[in-house]
Each structure stands twice: as structure tokens, then as C-alpha cells.
């Protein structure tokens, strides 16, 4: 009996380890969203002023394949943000990892918008919906659940400022 229990426990542990996916790190707090909304115009101007510095990290961001999304987020999280951009974003309340926070906000809003559009269009019955949902899931897998929840709770406010870009 002890052998059966031990064998079951070993199988359970192996299964958990094999199927467990590491959760991406959480980067957002309510204050980050507040500062993003409050300072959106200044953030946008700051990013526009550094567009040449950001080309290496923004290349390939138009992909939605799962492996490519993981690579894109790894590139975002490891990007060496120019010191003056880092300082500017920090001065706007976004902290030392302000660029990463902004990218998480933008991707999360994109996910929320896509989910809403799918619901409004009634696409659930169409073949294309499965592909779109899979692509959105690959993006969602790159963002911490708590960050997505925070963005979803402020989605209307965030979408309204981003629509006016």
C-alpha cells in the first residue's frame, strides 16, 4: 500500500512539474495605471522622442504566434532602456521599469479590446474566432494574471485615451 501511495505521489509530482507553466512576473500596481493615465501625453511624447532608440525592441512586435510572443516579451523585459528615457519615465511616476510597465499596459489593453470586439461581433461561432482567441491567449500568457485584472478593471478609461493617439 505504501508503494502505491509513493508511486502515486511521484506521478503527481512529475505531472505538476511537467505541466506547470511559470507565471510571468507582476509589474503593475494601481499607482502605475494612475500615472499612465495622468501623464499619457508626456509619456507618448517621451517615447516619440526616443523612437530611434526603441527600433531594436519594437521590430517583430506585429506577430501573434505563441513562440514569437514569448520572445517579444523576453526582449521587452531585457531591453536596455536608454538612461534618459528611463529617467524621464521614472519622473512621470512609472518607476525604474517604466518601459516594461508601459508595454504591459499597451498589450493588455489590446487583449481586452480584442476580447470585447469578439463578444460584440458574435464571432464565437465562426472559424476565425478560434485563431484569434489562440493568438490572444499567447499574448495573455506573457502577462501576469493580476496585471491583466488591473487593466481589465480600468479598460474603458485606458481605451479612451489610447483611441485619441
Q: pLDDT by residue (tens digit) across 12-50?
A: 333 333 334 567 889 999 999 999 999 999 999 999 999
Place of cell 495605471: 33
Predicted TM-score of the model (pTM):
0.78
Sign of the torsion formed by the C-alpha atoms of 70, 110, 40 and 146: negative
Report CA-CA distances (Å) from 44 to 51, 90, 123: 10, 14, 33
Query: By the 8 A CB rule, do 40 and 161 touch?
Result: yes
**Taking Cα atoms as reference points, which of 62, 68, 151, 73 lies closest to residue 105?**
151
Q: Does 1 score more than 80 pLDDT?
A: no
| Average pLDDT over the chain, rounded to an integer | 78
Please check whether residue 136 is in contact with residue 114, taking contact to mean a CB–CB distance below 8 angstroms.
yes
Average pLDDT over residues 60-66: 54
Q: Which residue has the cell 519594437?
A: 58
Angle at CA of residue 122, ends 117 and 124, nearest 5°: 100
Q: What integer pLDDT is reported at residue 55 of this predicted model?
A: 82
pLDDT value, residue 67 = 59
Tell me: pLDDT of 54 over 50. Answer: yes
Give the model's pLDDT for residue 113: 87
* Alpha-carbon span 113 to 161, nearest angstrom: 13
Q: How far apart are CA 55 and CA 38, in angstroms?
A: 26
Amino acid at each position: 500500500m505504501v508503494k502505491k501511495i509513493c508511486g502515486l505521489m511521484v506521478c503527481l509530482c512529475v505531472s505538476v512539474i511537467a505541466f506547470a507553466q511559470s507565471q510571468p512576473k507582476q509589474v503593475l500596481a494601481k499607482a502605475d495605471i494612475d500615472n499612465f493615465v495622468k501623464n499619457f501625453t508626456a509619456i507618448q511624447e517621451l517615447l516619440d522622442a526616443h523612437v530611434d532608440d526603441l527600433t531594436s525592441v519594437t521590430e517583430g512586435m506585429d506577430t501573434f504566434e505563441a513562440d514569437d510572443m514569448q520572445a517579444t516579451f523576453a526582449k521587452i523585459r531585457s531591453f536596455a532602456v536608454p538612461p534618459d528615457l528611463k529617467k524621464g519615465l521614472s519622473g512621470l511616476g512609472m518607476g525604474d521599469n517604466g518601459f516594461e510597465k508601459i508595454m504591459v499596459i499597451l498589450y493588455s489593453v489590446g487583449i481586452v479590446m480584442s476580447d470585447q470586439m469578439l463578444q460584440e461581433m458574435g464571432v464565437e461561432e465562426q472559424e476565425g474566432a478560434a485563431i484569434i482567441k489562440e493568438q490572444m491567449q499567447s499574448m495573455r500568457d506573457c502577462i501576469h494574471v493580476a496585471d491583466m485584472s488591473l487593466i481589465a478593471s480600468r479598460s474603458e478609461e485606458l481605451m479612451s485615451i489610447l483611441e485619441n493617439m
